[in-house]
Each structure stands twice: as C-alpha cells, then as structure tokens.
Chains A and B, each alone.
Chain A
Amino acid sequence: MASTVFRSFQIHPFLLHTRTVLGLRNGVMYSSMKSAQSQTATKEKKQPQLRPSNQSKKLENISNDYEAIIGIETHVQLASQTKAFCSCPYHYGSLPNTSICPICMGLPGALPALNSKVIEFAVKVGLALNCKLSMNSKFDRKQYFYPDLPKGYQISQFDVPIATGGYVDVDIPVEFGGGHRRFGITRVHMEEDAGKLLHAEDGSHSQVDLNRAGVPLLEIVSEPDMRSGIEAAEYAVELQRLVRYLGVSNGNMQEGSLRCDVNVSVRPIGQSQLGTKVEIKNLNSFSSVSRAIDFEISRQVLLHSQGQENQIVQETRLWNEGSQKTVTMRKKEGLSDYRYFPEPDLPAVILSKEYVDDIRNSLPELPEMNRRRYEKMGLSMQDVLFLANDNNIAEFFDATLAKGADTKLAANWIMGDIAAFMKNEQLTINEIKLTPEELSELIASIKSGIISGKIGKQILFELLAKGGTVKGVIEEKDLVQITDTVEIEKMVDQVIVENPKQLEQYRGGKTKLQGFFAGQVMKLSKGKANPELLNKILLEKLNSER
C-alpha cells in the first residue's frame, strides 16, 4: 500500500467536490451524442434554438426570445510516459500514493524538471486547433491552498499560453439537424494536475492520493461560440476525437482524462450585452454536458421571462445526474486572486521554427480532414460521422479499402455486424480478431459468388471471435456456394417429390409457397446453394410440369 504520509483531516463541507464517476458509458461505438437522443428533444434548426428537455411547452415558446452563450474549458490529460515534472508514471486506478516521488509530493528542496513530451503534445494540439503558437512562452505559478495541491501552487501558464486564437470545425449529426459549425479556440495552455481527495463514507475525514499530482494537462478554452447543449457536446466530442487522432491523450471522460467545465449565460435576442455567466462542473459524459446546459438554459430563461434575471448570479453549479438538475456549489464572491507570477524554477519555453515545422509535418490526418475525405468518397454523412468518429475504426476502414474492398460494402459491414459484435462483446476494433485483409477477402468472396451473403455473415462471426482466414473457414466448414445447376436441380427435384401436397397447392394458385420450397432446398444444401440459381431453377420446375 501507499508508502506515505497519508494524513487525514476533516474538510469544510462546501469545499467537498467529488469527482465520482457517474453517468453514461460512452463505449466505443458511441458515435458522438447517440445516447443523448432519447433525452434531448429533437430536430433541426439552422437557427440555434433552445430545446429544453423536460420543461413545459410554454417555456419552449418563451425560449425562442432568448439566446444562450456557451463557452467550454476542457482539461485534457496528456498520455506521456511520465508526469510533467518528474519521472513517475501515471496509471489510472493504481493504489493510492504508489506513483509518487519527492517532486510530485512537493517535498522540501524538490524541483520540477520539464518533460519535453508535454511541449510536443501541446504544440501538436495547438497546430491541430489552428492556433497561433507562442514561440516564447513560460510557466507561471497559480497559488492556492488545497490538500490535493502539494506545493501550494500549480505550475500553469498565465499571460502567455503556448497557443492562442484557433478554431475547430464540427459536423453536427444528422439527427440533431446536421450542418457544419466552426467554434473558436481562445487559448491552449500547459499545466499540471492536482491529486485527489478520498472522502471517508461517514464524512469523518478525507485522505489525499497524490498519484495524479503532476500529471500533465492541457487546458483548452473555447470562445463562447456555442448556442445549445448539443453544440457544446459536439464540440467536446470533437476535442476527444482530435486528441485521440493525435495520440496525445486517451480522452476518456470516465477516467477524467477529458474534463469539461462549461459557462452558460442567457440574454434576450437582440441584446448585445452578455447575461450573467454561470459555471457548471461535474460533467462526466458528453450527454451530461448537453443535458446540463439545456437544463441551465431553461432555468435562466425561466428567470428572465419572470423578470427575475437578478436571481441569476455568478456562481459555480454542479450537475446532479440523479435529479437531472444543476445545483449551487459555491457563489463567487469577487475574483479569486491566484497571485500568478513567473515560475522561477523552470526556464522559458522557447520553440524553434524547425521544431514546430517538424511537428507540423508529422501531424496525422485530423478528424475534419478525414470526414471531408470520406464525404468525397461518396459516403453518406451518417456513414462519414460513424467511421471518422474513432480513428481506429477509420484506420480499419481505410486498410480494408486498401485491400481492394468496395467502399459502401466495407462501410456497411463495419457499421453493421462488426459494430454490433464489438458493442455486445465490449471490444474495441483493435481487440477483435478480424483483420482488414480478411474483411476485404470476405467482401470479395461474396461478390464473386464463392459464398452467399448469409454464409458470409456466418464466416464473419467466426473470424471476429476466433480469427483465421476466410479461405480457411470456407475450407474447414465446406462452405463454398453451390453454383452447379445440375446439383441444384437434383435438390429441387428431391424437395418437389417430397412435398406433393404443397406442390398441388402451389399449382392450384397458392404461388406464395415458392418461398417454402426455396427454404427447403436451401436447408437441404445447408445454406450453400446460390440463391439466384436456386430460385430460377425452382420456378422453372414448379411452373413447367403440368
């Protein structure tokens, strides 16, 4: 167990903020906001509008008179091998205080030494977000006292962030009205994470786990460009995609690798002055981002419409997943003074043009470019959004196409049976045993008539679960399609002979029974008969002999 110095104390109740993992699972296949559909009401608007979820129709009408302004601060935990300023690794879920050292514990005399990966990742993200990079930035100390902050200050960036003034392009899913949006990025800066407090169940004391202390983060601050919960959530999903494509973070919301705090204000349409800004925390999934914002908009609109907008105060509210409401966490009394000053223990961060160019040239294809490429291939927007949602799936898809597979067929297989299999088995596309080569082979085998589509499905599940090759499975299970007309004729004859009654009925006009005969023949062939040949021969035989 923890080799530490692990002390307990009681904590002032209002400071208690749990970061427990609530909310929905966003599994692999969860293309952006799918699960939110059921919760959030529906349908298109080119004009951003409010869609209150569980509030009255009347409010919905009122809400047309107001406009919500939403900005998001996102913290992305960087997937570097070691922490930002020491050589401790970080693994989510490790036993408390097992990944700590004098530096990340803030022992007397310990000093930070910057992990250069942090800079590299920050530059990658800055470039991917179309930002202007600060070639000469620095670290600053942000000072406050909290037990999860070992040094009494957080090493962060204050007035000169590493990247500023960018944007990100987002495709809104068809079910939410579709369309393309561009959201501004105010700044991206580097900082270190704090530890975690573990609160005793009876509330008698809290303990400090410093495993996470010193883990590198990027804080990405958006412009207040979002107008609805869906837009905000889609923005967050796009950031998740982006950091995963770049390989700088696992972007996992449940593990806290991607954390969103949103700012919401509401004003009457036409008013230029902004309304009072409310911050919402404890958003553990994209759907909670969307629902919390929509709830908050409704709450503020209602207050506005009742002439009680002075009841909207600058505060931090927590999203409560159980009650689906935001509740006051703490009111802001003036601005907190963090007494920032330049971190004297770390030299300035100076980027050379070469360094930046090298990173720029090594950037992978980004989600937006990926989507545009798929779009040009003729895929529907729905297909595009699904396939480009996960860079691993996109890579699998691209590899399948590279082996010569038909675009639409490959997309259908991946989005259909393969996706369903992964969802059921809770596997990622990198964990299934099917390779892009074999998927391509499978598609080709069906197309060339070696196997039927039905057999193809059977083979697919075999490959998904056990691996192997299409050829191997066909051989092993003797699954080659029967295309020999003589053989099929033989089976048709046998079925007709064995079912005289049905034959009589058929010839008596009950032609629907063709399906019955086809089924029997298929059964006899163990599903291997070529269906077109089978039907052709069957029809001939049924209709000919009078």
Chain B
Amino acid sequence: MLSTVQTPRSLSRFPFYIPSKPFLFHTTTSRFSSEPIAYSSLTEQSNSTTTTTTSPAPQQSQILTIRQSLLSRKITATELAESYLTRLRLTEPHLNSFLHISDTVLREAQELDQKIKGNEEIGPLAGVLVGVKDNICTKDMPSTGGSRILESYRPPFDATAVKRVKQLGGIVVGKTNLDEFGMGSTTEGSAFKVTANPWDISRVPGGSSGGSAAAVSARQCVVSLGSDTGGSVRQPASFCGVVGLKPTYGRVSRYGLMAYASSLDVIGCFGSTVADTGILLHAIAGHDRFDATTSKQDVPNYLSHFVPASSLETKPLKGLRIGLIRETLDEGVDPGVISAIRAAASHFEELGCSVNEVSLPSFSFGLPAYYILASSESSSNLSRYDGVRYGNQASTDRLNYLYGDSRAKGFGSEVKMRILMGTYALSAGYYDAYYKRAQQVRTIIRNSFKEALNENDILISPAAPSPAYKIGEKKHDPLAMYAGDIMTVNVNLAGLPALVLPCGFVEGGPAGLPVGLQMIGAAFGEGELLRVGHIFEQTLENTKFVPPICDS
C-alpha cells in the first residue's frame, strides 16, 4: 500500500509526458475577483487533525498516510507530488484521464514544504493531489465541461467544492475527462479524447466522471471530484474498482458545477478507500450561500465513524438491516455481477447484518422519468451556451446564425439529442404528458425508497448491470447505454446518498474486471454508509483493487 507514496523504480527512464494536443488556454475571460467566503467548516475541519491519533490505521487512508509521512518528515510534499506526477505521465498516454494537467503542482508542493519546515499549521488535505472533473470550475485552469463550445474557457472563479479543497491544503492536479457536460456513461462523449479503463485499456472507464475514476484507480492522484446526475460517479467507480460516493442532494454545493440537470446534479467523491472518500466529502460538504439548494444540516465528522480493523468485533454490524433490491438482480444483469453482489450480501451476513430482499416495484419507471427530467432541465441549462458572452462563437453577422452556428458547432450529438428531447418534453401541449408525469413518477419513487428505508437501514444493489464494456461497444446504441443507468438513476430521483465500493471481480481483461456494490442510505446518512462501507472494505479478504497498469 505504501508503494503509492514511493517513487517507482524505473521512472527516470521515462521522458516527461507532454500532452500531444495541448488545450488552448485563452486569457480572454473576464477578470472577476470572487468574493471571499468565510467557511465555518474550516474550524470544524481542524477537528479531524486532532482525531488523527485515534483514527484508523494508516493503510486505510492514503490521505492520513500522507499527512503522517509529511508531519514526521518521512517524505516531502515535493517528493510526493513528483512521484504522483511521474506515474501520471507514465500512464496518461494509455489512459487519457486528464484534459488538463496543472503546471503549478510542484510549486504548490514546495510552498507546503516551506510551511512544514517552519512548523506552520497545515490543512487536513495538505499535499493531497486532487483530480477535478472538468465540468467543475477552477479559477486558474481551463474548464470545458468536455465540450467544444467551452474549448478555451477559463472561469473567473473556483467552484465552492474546489475552493474548500484548496483552502484545506489540497493541490488540484488537473482537470479530468468526462462525457460532454456529464451526458453519457462511457466518457466517449468527450469532445476531446476517449479515456481508457485502467483495468483494461480497451474498455471504457464508465461515465460521465470516467476521467476522475480512472485517475484514482491508476493512482494518478489521491482522490478526485466528480459529479453524479444519474450515476456518473457510481458507475465509473464500479467500472474502475474505486470507491465512489454520491452525497445527498443538497449536501455539497453545486456552485461552480456546470449544470446538467439542476434538481439531480450533485458533486461526488472518488477515493481508493472508503476513508479517503469520507475525508474528501467532509472537506467539501456543507451549506453554501451561493447555492440555495444546499442544506444547513451540520456536517458530521465522518472520520470518527471509522473503526480500525484491529478493534473490530466478530460481528461488527450486528443488528444492521440490509435490504437487497430484488429488481436490480433481474434478467439483463450480468451473471458475474449478480454473483458478486450475492457474495457481498453473504459477507454482510457474516458481519452480523440481517439481509432481506426488498421489492421496489417502481424501480423500472425511474429510467424513463430520469431521462425526461434530466433532458428537460438540460435543455434549459445549456441555453446559456449561446456564443454571446464566452465560449466558441460562430462568425456570422446575423443573430439567428450566431445562435444556430455556435451551438451546432459547439455541441456534440449526444448533447444535441438531449436538448431536443428536453425541449420537446417542455413544449406546450406535451408538458403534462412528459415533464409533469415524470415528476409524479419521481414522487412515487421517492416514497417507495422512504418506505424501504423505514424497514432497512441500508439498501444494496449492483452499481451497474455489467462490468466495464469495450470502447465503442455502445457508442451507437444510446438506448443500451441509457439502460446501463438503471441501477443508479432512481437514487438521484430520490435525492439519496449512495456509496459504491468494489466488492469483487468478474472475468475479463488481463486481470479481471471489478464489480461495484452500491449501498443506498437515508437522506444525509453518509456517515452511516461510510461506517458500514469501511467495515465491509476492511473485512473483505484477499482482494486488492489496484489495476494492472499500476504494476508496470
């Protein structure tokens, strides 16, 4: 495990990776000074530093390992950053996880080393390299959303989540690839490049946060931010064998996240362990006056929920009621996935849980309702990309052509299709039949989850009906791709939190393909999901989810 912080032996032989297709970094964008915000969570955050002594053993969290290594002067932040950058440069030509790599990582690491030298206080994410999905705005880097229409766009402000990561000492290593504006499940929908799955580079990493998932999986960074509208964090986490957390709607500020479907979007976290994912969530969660849909509920200290493996009892989850969603193991789901999930259910039983099958009869309605609502909202949210104020502008002297050409050239086909579907669904005469009915379905789904969660503490299901499939396999079959979202969209419709963690393998690729287990909790129940997920993770024997690309 510590190998991730050690410099790989063979590195000096490899030349520095230079992106073959550099992105155009225009400086044309406006000069705004975004207002400073006082984060109360900053003080809260410092608690997690003090809990370090009683916290889990280092190997459960790369973030804590890094912190201890830095504070004990075992390694410098610069050495650490160099080791990650080196691996990143080695693997990136095969993976294409990133759309942009920061050129200030080493400088930021050096500044941190100066602080450590001077015995200055360092933040809980100090020295942690964080990948950020490119639909999340970053001030000093391009933010394209994977779209041609924002090809040279640099935002004048950091998204709230990014701002909090930076304030706590995190170093943004770069911007990760995604399906254009988050619309897709393979990352093939990026206007710029196709990201490969670290477990088998002929396969997709999932999507839309495929770049963020692949980057964590290949240890190109420690943790990463993604966004989840219908499964865009959880499905790639499953495909890439990493931990992915979709928080409750309203738990994390969306300010600075390019809106796809505002009532479903949420920024989520990737890590190689449950603990890292929880630490990252703690950093970014909480009320934000710039996002009226964020909750004012306190953010618990997730770290204190983690019990070290050494002090676990024989039945550490005794009394916990787990509901296995019957409809998610129906036909159409890969048999290997089903057996991995059944094995996970047995594992829960071994840990002392009672596992029961629960039925959510409305489950299958979620997919069409989701696609109507998400498309409707996206048709509105993407109206701002009109070429008037920023982004690529068609050169024309007529207003209608300015709109038409800028958007025709700027958007990819999947985005256009969703804008058209959404525009149709919201049109006079169709609104009641589509949008309104989808909202009614949403209410039914929300209620059925509520009922199921009254009788169960946590619901489980696969995160995706199959493991990672081949690049190009579903590219021209959008319905097949949409069908892959069946496991995840209902959770967005209900606004609930869900944690995906690798639970096993199915055959495929050079070393097998990981399968992700989805755990769904009650609203704002991230703490419980993380606690249970952590125990599950610590007690899962003989499984290491490090992809073969890291061994080379």
Contact = CB atoms under 8 A, between A and B. Distances in A.
Interface string A100-135: 011001111111111000000000000000000000
A347 B261 CA distance: 15
A347 B292 contact: yes
Contact of A12 (B29, B376, B399): B399
Given A9-B399, A87-B35, A341-B426, A107 B293 contact: no
A334 to B, nearest CB: 10
B256 A109 contact: yes
A89 to B, nearest CB: 13
Contact of A335 (B382, B400, B428): B428
A152 interface: yes
Contacts of A335: 428
Interface stretch (B151-159, B312-320, B340-348, B472-480): B151-159
Interface stretch (B201-209, B276-284, B389-397): B389-397
B32 A339 contact: no
A369 interface: no
B365 interface: no
B248 to A, nearest CB: 15
- The contact size tier of chain A is 35 or more
B377 A7 contact: no
B398 A106 contact: no
Interface string B374-394: 001101101111101110010
B14 to A, nearest CB: 36
A307 interface: no
A341 B398 contact: no
Interface in B152-183: 153, 155-157, 159
Nearest to B429: A337
A337 B157 CA distance: 34
25 contacts: A9-B396, A9-B397, A11-B399, A12-B399, A101-B32, A102-B156, A107-B156, A108-B258, A109-B143, A109-B255, A109-B257, A109-B259, A111-B291, A113-B289, A113-B290, A143-B383, A143-B426, A150-B384, A150-B389, A152-B382, A208-B388, A335-B428, A339-B427, A341-B377, A341-B426
A145 B257 contact: no
A345 B384 contact: no
Nearest to A147: B388
Nearest to A86: B290
Nearest to A2: B30
Given A10-B399, A108-B155, A109-B259, A345 B383 contact: no
Given A109-B254, A208-B389, A345-B262, 12 more contacts: A3-B30, A5-B30, A10-B397, A10-B398, A102-B34, A143-B383, A145-B403, A150-B388, A150-B389, A340-B426, A344-B377, A345-B259
A403 to B, nearest CB: 47
Contacts of B157: 102, 107
Contacts of A7: 388-389, 393
Nearest to B383: A152
Contacts of A107: 155-157, 384, 389-390
Contact of B136 (A87, A109, A143, A153): A109
Contact of A110 (B30, B145, B255, B386): B255
Given A145-B383, A152-B383, A345-B262, A111 B255 contact: yes
A346 interface: yes
Contacts of A5: 28-30, 389-390
User: Across chains A and B, which 6 residue pairs bring their CB atoms closest together, nearest first?
Assistant: A152-B383, A344-B262, A344-B263, A339-B426, A109-B256, A10-B397
B431 interface: yes
The residue in A4, A106, A108, A152 that gathers the most chain B C-beta atoms within 10 A of its C-beta is A108
Nearest to B424: A339
A111 B290 contact: yes
A532 B144 CA distance: 89
A486 interface: no
The residue in A12, A15, A345, A346 that gathers the most chain B C-beta atoms within 10 A of its C-beta is A345
A151 interface: yes
B402 interface: yes
Interface string A146-172: 010011110000000000000000000
Contacts of B389: 4-5, 7, 105-107, 150, 208
Interface of B: 28-32, 34-35, 136-137, 143, 145, 150, 153, 155-157, 159, 254-259, 261-263, 289-293, 376-377, 379-380, 382-386, 388-390, 393, 396-400, 402-403, 423, 426-428, 431, 435
Given A113-B290, A341-B376, A12 B258 contact: no
A141 interface: yes
Nearest to B387: A7
Given A5-B389, A339-B423, A347 B293 contact: yes
Given A337-B427, A339-B423, A111 B399 contact: no
B292 A345 contact: yes
A347 B291 CA distance: 10
Chain B at the A interface: mostly helix, strand, loop or mixed? loop
Contacts of B156: 102, 107
Contacts of A346: 292-293
A9 B402 contact: yes
A11 B403 CA distance: 11
Nearest to A148: B388
Contacts of B30: 3-5, 105
Contacts of B290: 111, 113
A542 B155 CA distance: 94
Contacts of A12: 398-400
Contacts of A110: 255-256
A5 B27 CA distance: 11
Contacts of A143: 380, 383, 426
A109 B263 CA distance: 14
Interface string A7-32: 10111100100000000000000000
A109 B132 CA distance: 14
Contacts of B383: 143, 145, 151-153
B157 to A, nearest CB: 6
A419 to B, nearest CB: 46
Nearest to B291: A111
Contacts of B262: 344-345
A114 B292 CA distance: 8
Nearest to B157: A102
Interface in A311-349: 335, 337, 339-341, 344-347
Contacts of A113: 289-292
Nearest to B396: A9
B428 A337 contact: yes
A337 B292 CA distance: 28
A160 to B, nearest CB: 14
Nearest to B263: A344
B159 A109 contact: yes
Contacts of B28: 5
A110 B292 CA distance: 11
A285 B150 CA distance: 43
Contacts of A340: 426
Contacts of A9: 388, 396-399, 402
